[in-house]
Structure formats: C-alpha cells, structure tokens
C-alpha cells in the first residue's frame, strides 16, 4: 500500500459505479458520483452525477421548485476529488478515507435541477504528503454551476 502519490500521470478510466464504490465508503443516499470518465493520476478527474428527481433532498429543497443544494454539489466535487486522491495514491479498497479540511471561494452560478447530468471536474492544485488542495468545477449542459477550492487529507479510518 503506497503512502505517496504514484509518480506518473497515467490516464485511468472510465470507472463504473462498482469501481467508484471501491474507492469511496459513501453509499446511498450520500454517494454522489455515478461514473468517472477519466482520471489523470496526480492531476485531474472528470466524473458524472446523474441528478434524478428521486433524490431524497428534492422532497424538501424546494417543494414546487426542486434544486440540488449547493453544499451537495460541493460534496459531489469532494467525492470526485477523493476518487482522484485514492487512485493517485494507489490505496483503493484499503479502507483509507479522504477527509475535508477546508472549503474556499465557493461560488454558485446556476441552479442544478433534476434530470441533468452534473459534470464534475477537479484539478489538483497541490499535493503535500497526505494533504491535497483541489480546484473544482461543476457544470450542467456546458454552463458553470459551481466552482470551489478545497483541501482534503487522506487518513486511516477511525478504529472501531
């Protein structure tokens, strides 16, 4: 099990939902990445979230005008970044977790409504040890919906 990023910038993908679930501990209703189109190790990821009216949060956000909460768009970007980090560090299926450490400069441009494919693009800004800084963008039909910078850390899962 590697503790440092894989040194090359190999291209990985596409990854189906089984491979996404091998990288992330999240499950319904909190799994917000449905497919990964491409990962450039240590560099970037492009993933997809199919936004369905069946999502539990649409029942209350907002009745009569369903909009995906901005914090969940950021969570989807963070999950995509976690897949990128897990694959770059070569620790998929190891039990390692990726924890949020900070969110910076979140901007919401257009609402995310049911029935769209939310395109999640995340770039590595910096990798220092087990701490990674990312820049994320979520878009719908080519329009920027959300952009955010965030920091995360790869760590062991807490002991039971």
- E strand or H helix at 103, and its extent? strand 97-108
For 78, list phi and psi in degrees, rounded to 5. -65, -40
- For residue 146, what are its two tokens? 């959300």
Q: What is the pLDDT tens value at each position of the chain, 160 positions in all?
A: 445 555 578 888 899 999 999 999 999 999 999 999 999 999 999 999 999 999 999 999 998 999 999 999 999 999 999 999 999 998 887 888 999 999 999 999 999 999 999 999 999 999 999 999 999 999 999 999 999 999 999 999 888 7
Residue 145 is part of which domain span?
11-155
The domain total for the chain is 1
The model carries a pTM of 0.93
One of 43, 48, 61, 131 is an active-site residue; which one? 61
Q: For residue 160, tell me if it sits in a domain.
A: no
Q: Which residues pair with 149 in a beta bridge?
A: 104, 135
**Residue 26 falls in the annotated catalytic set:** no
CA dihedral over 52, 77, 140, 112, signed as positive or negative? positive
Chain centroid to CA 27: how far? 13
Question: How far is the C-alpha of 98 from the C-alpha of 110, rounded, in Å?
Answer: 28
Closest among 38, 15, 11 to 122, alpha carbons compared: 38
Q: For residue 20, tell me if it sits in a domain.
A: yes
- For residue 27, what are its two tokens? 């499950």
Residue 18 maps to which CATH number? 3.10.129.10
Task: State the DSSP code for 7.
Answer: S
């Amino acid at each position: 099990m590697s503790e440092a990023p894989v040194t090359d910038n190999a291209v990985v993908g596409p990854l189906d939902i089984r491979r996404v679930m091998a990288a992330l501990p999240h499950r319904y209703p909190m799994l917000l990445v449905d497919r990964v189109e491409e990962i450039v190790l240590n560099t970037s990821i492009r993933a997809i979230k199919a936004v369905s009216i069946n999502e539990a949060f649409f029942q209350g956000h907002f009745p009569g005008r369903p909009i995906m909460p901005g914090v969940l768009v950021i969570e989807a970007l963070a999950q995509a970044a976690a897949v990128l980090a897990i694959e770059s560090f070569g620790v998929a299926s190891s039990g390692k977790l990726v924890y949020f450490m900070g969110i910076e400069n979140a901007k919401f441009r257009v609402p995310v409504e049911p029935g769209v494919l939310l395109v999640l693009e995340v770039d590595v800004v910096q990798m220092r040890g087990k701490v990674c800084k990312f820049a994320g963008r979520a878009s719908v039909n080519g329009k920027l919906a959300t952009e955010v910078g965030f920091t995360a850390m790869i760590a062991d899962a807490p002991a039971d």
